[in-house]
Amino acid sequence: MKLFQKAGPRKSLIMKIILITTLLLTAITTASLLDGRTAIVDNATTTNYRLPNNSLPISYSIRLIPYIIVDNFTFDGESTIELEVLKSSSSITLHILNLTIDETATSLVSSGNKNHKIASHTYDTKKQFLILKFATHLPTGNYTLYLKYVGNLPSNILEGFYRSSYTNDNGQTVWLATTQFAPTAARRAFPCWDEPALKATFTISIKHDVNYTALSNMPVANQSAIDKTDNKLWTTFKTTPIMSTYLVAFVVSDYGYVSNGNERFRVWSRKNALRGASYALTQGESELKHLEKYTSIPFALPKMDEISIPDFFFGAMENWGLVTYRESEMLYEDGVNSTFTKQNVAKIISHEITHQWFGNLVSPSWWKYLWLKEGFATYFEFYITDQVEKNWHLMDQFIVRSLQENTLIADSSDTTHPLNQDASTPEEIKALLDTITYQKGAAVIHMMSNFLTPPIFRAGLTRYLNNNAYKAVTSDDLWSALQEVSDEYEILPPEICLKKVMDTWVEQPGFPLITVTRDYKTGKANISQERYFQSGASGDGTRWWVPISYTTQSDLNFSSTSPREWIPQAKNNIVLNGFKPTDWTIFNIKESGYYRVNYDKKNWKLITSYLDSDDYVNIHPLNRAQIIDDSGNLALANRINFSIFLDISVYIRRDIDYVPWRSMLTVSSYLYQKLANTRSFSLFKRFFVESSEKSIAAVGYIQHDNDEHLVKFQRINIITFACLYGSAECRSNATAILAAYLEDPIANPISPDLRDWVFSSGIKNANATVWNMVLDLYAKSPSLTVINYLGLSEDEEILTNYMKLATTDNSTILKEHASDAFASIYDGSGDNINFALDYLIDNFDKLYEFWDQPTDEMIRHVSAFGNLLTTREQLTKLKALVEKHSDVFGSDGQTAIANAESNVKWTDTYEPVFYEWFTNFYKL
Instruction: Kindly state whether residue 362 participates in binding Zn ion, applying the rule CB under 5 A.
Output: no
Shortest reach from residue 182's CB to Zn ion, in Å? 9
Contact between residue 675 and residue 911 where contact means Cβ atoms under 8 Å apart: yes
Which lies closer to Zn ion via its Cβ, residue 374 or residue 503? 374
Which lies closer to Zn ion via its Cβ, residue 207 or residue 368? 368
Which lies closer to Zn ion via its Cβ, residue 317 or residue 699? 317
* 611 CA to centre of own chain: 33
- Binding string, residues 389-408; x marks residues near Zn ion by CB under 5 A: --------------------
* Contact positions with Zn ion (CB under 5 A) in 761-800: none
Which lies closer to Zn ion via its Cβ, residue 377 or residue 611? 377
Which lies closer to Zn ion via its Cβ, residue 377 or residue 444? 377
* Contact positions with Zn ion (CB under 5 A) in 257-286: none
Q: Which stretch binds Zn ion (CB under 5 A): 186-194, 372-380, 818-826, 912-920?
A: 372-380
Give whole-number Cα distances, 732 to 554, 691, 772, in Å.
Answer: 46, 18, 18
Question: In 3D, which of 816, 722, 710 has the Cα closest to residue 760?
Answer: 722
- Residues 219 and 765: their CA atoms lie apart, in Å, by 58
Q: Which stretch binds Zn ion (CB under 5 A): 367-375, 386-394, 476-484, 620-628?
A: 367-375
Shortest reach from residue 459's CB to Zn ion, in Å? 24
Which lies closer to Zn ion via its Cβ, residue 315 or residue 830? 315
Shortest reach from residue 406's CB to Zn ion, in Å? 15
Q: Which stretch binds Zn ion (CB under 5 A): 270-278, 377-385, 706-714, 846-854?
A: 377-385
Contact between residue 198 and residue 56 where contact means Cβ atoms under 8 Å apart: yes
Shortest reach from residue 327's CB to Zn ion, in Å? 18
Q: Which stretch binds Zn ion (CB under 5 A): 366-374, 385-393, 463-471, 581-589?
A: 366-374
Shortest reach from residue 357's CB to Zn ion, in Å? 12
Per CB under 5 A, the list member of 18, 248, 301, 377 interacting with Zn ion is 377
Q: Which stretch binds Zn ion (CB under 5 A): 186-194, 369-377, 425-433, 512-520?
A: 369-377
DSSP 652: G
Burial track 651-663 (b if 16+ CB lie within 10 A, e otherwise): bbbebbbbbbbbb
Shortest reach from residue 436's CB to Zn ion, in Å? 14
Q: Which stretch binds Zn ion (CB under 5 A): 33-41, 223-231, 295-303, 374-382?
A: 374-382
Which lies closer to Zn ion via its Cβ, residue 356 or residue 717? 356
Shortest reach from residue 1's CB to Zn ion, in Å? 4
Annotation says 352 is catalytic: yes
Burial track 409-436 (b if 16+ CB lie within 10 A, e otherwise): bbbbbeebbbbbbebbbbebbbbbbbbb
Shortest reach from residue 29's CB to Zn ion, in Å? 24
Q: E strands, 330-422, where? A: 362-364
Ordered strands of the 512-519 beta sheet: 573-576, 524-531, 512-519, 596-599
Shortest reach from residue 464's CB to Zn ion, in Å? 18
Which residues make beta-bridge pairs with 238?
Answer: none
Burial track 761-792 (b if 16+ CB lie within 10 A, e otherwise): bbbbbbeeebbeebbebbeeeeebbbbbbbbb
Question: In 3D, which of 560, 544, 645, 640 has the Cα closest to residue 595?
Answer: 544
Question: CA angle, corner 295, sides to 289 and 300, nearest 5?
Answer: 70
Instruction: Kindly state whether residue 1 participates in binding Zn ion, applying the rule CB under 5 A.
Output: yes
Q: In what helix (H) or strand (E) does residue 688 lie, and over which residues does it extend?
A: helix 681-691
Single out the catalytic residue among 352, 389, 428, 591.
352
Enumerate residues 6+ apart whose C-beta is below 8 A from 104.
none
Question: In 3D, which of 90, 139, 621 has the Cα closest to residue 397?
Answer: 621
Q: E strands, 479-521, where? A: 512-519
A 10 A CB-CB count for 260 gives 13
Q: Which stretch binds Zn ion (CB under 5 A): 1-9, 269-277, 418-426, 739-747?
A: 1-9
Ordered strands of the 256-259 beta sheet: 256-259, 265-269, 304-309, 322-326, 316-317
A 10 A CB-CB count for 533 gives 20
- Residues 293 and 464: their CA atoms lie apart, in Å, by 15
* Contact positions with Zn ion (CB under 5 A) in 717-756: none
Residue 393 marked as a ligand binder: no
Instruction: Kindly state whether residue 433 participates in binding Zn ion, applying the rule CB under 5 A.
Output: no
Question: In 3D, which of 251, 283, 534, 494 has the Cα closest to residue 387?
Answer: 283
Which lies closer to Zn ion via its Cβ, residue 23 or residue 377? 377
- Residues 364 and 195: their CA atoms lie apart, in Å, by 10
Shortest reach from residue 855's CB to Zn ion, in Å? 39
* Backbone dihedral angles phi then psi of residue 510, each to the nearest 5 degrees: 80, -170
Which lies closer to Zn ion via its Cβ, residue 2 or residue 95? 2
- Total interface residues for Zn ion by CB under 5 A: 4
- Residues 403 and 382: their CA atoms lie apart, in Å, by 12
Helix, strand or coil for residue 162?
A: strand
Which lies closer to Zn ion via its Cβ, residue 75 or residue 376? 376
DSSP 266: E
Residue 729 marked as a ligand binder: no
Annotated binding-site residue numbers for Zn(2+):
351, 355, 374
Annotated binding-site residue numbers:
351, 355, 374
* Interacting residues toward Zn ion by CB under 5 A: 1-2, 374, 377
Q: Catalytic amino acids?
A: 352
